[in-house]
């Protein structure tokens, strides 16, 4: 019985915390980061850096499709040895396509992780400054809210301040 009372009191305190906060805001952290000018510049730069690799991957995809089509078209018309050779050629090109596709994905993921690591301290600084300037009592992750008035959303302000960072 005593445990039940403690649990009820703990739940009541938990649900009344937002009521104690006078100034509340919601923030989409990932949205702010990805909407920043730095993120847009990064995506453009990454696209330029990886364009040659993407072209090469597209060419391998064409070769793999052509090899597959050749096998499909000729499977009843050529000797078994020749068909086996065509299949091997297709498998070789397809394996290279997969290998390069995975390498490109890994390169992209590493670049994105480096960007996020570089931007996180700037984002944290901007958020802290905004909290201090506006004297927020509570800032809640936008993803964790079921509903919030648009006026409570400070994501656009964070993006604006983030864009002013060197």
Residue 28 DSSP SS3: coil
DSSP state of 75: T
Tell me the torsion sign for CA atoms 132, 135, 138, 140.
negative
List, for residues 49-96, the tens digit of each pLDDT value.
999 999 999 999 999 999 888 888 877 777 888 888 988 998 999 999
Domain count, the chain: 1
**Residue 2, Cβ neighbours under 10 Å: how many?**
6
pTM: 0.71
Tokens matching residue 101: 């596709």
Q: Which run of H or of E encompasses 140?
A: strand 138-141
Question: Which residue segment(s) compose the domain that 145 sits in?
Answer: 2-164
Q: Is 68 exposed, middle or buried (0-12, 13-18, 19+ CB in 10 A)?
A: middle
List, for residues 11-33, the tens digit of each pLDDT value.
444 455 455 668 999 999 999 99
Tokens matching residue 59: 């060419």
């Amino acid at each position: 019985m005593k445990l039940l009372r403690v649990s009820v009191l703990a739940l009541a305190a938990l649900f009344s915390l937002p009521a104690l906060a006078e100034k509340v805001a919601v923030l989409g952290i990932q949205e702010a980061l990805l909407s920043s000018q730095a993120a847009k510049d990064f995506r453009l730069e990454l696209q330029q850096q990886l364009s040659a690799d993407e072209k090469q991957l597209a060419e391998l995809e064409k070769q793999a499709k052509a090899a597959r089509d050749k096998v499909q078209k000729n499977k009843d018309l050529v000797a078994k040895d020749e068909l086996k050779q065509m299949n091997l050629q297709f498998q070789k090109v397809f394996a290279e396509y997969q290998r390069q596709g995975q390498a490109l994905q890994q390169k992209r993921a590493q670049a994105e992780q480096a960007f996020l690591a570089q931007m996180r301290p700037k984002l944290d600084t901007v958020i802290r400054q905004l909290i201090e300037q506006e004297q927020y009592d509570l800032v809640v992750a936008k993803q964790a809210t079921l509903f919030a008035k648009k006026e409570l959303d400070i994501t656009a302000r964070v993006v604006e301040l983030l864009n002013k960072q060197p």
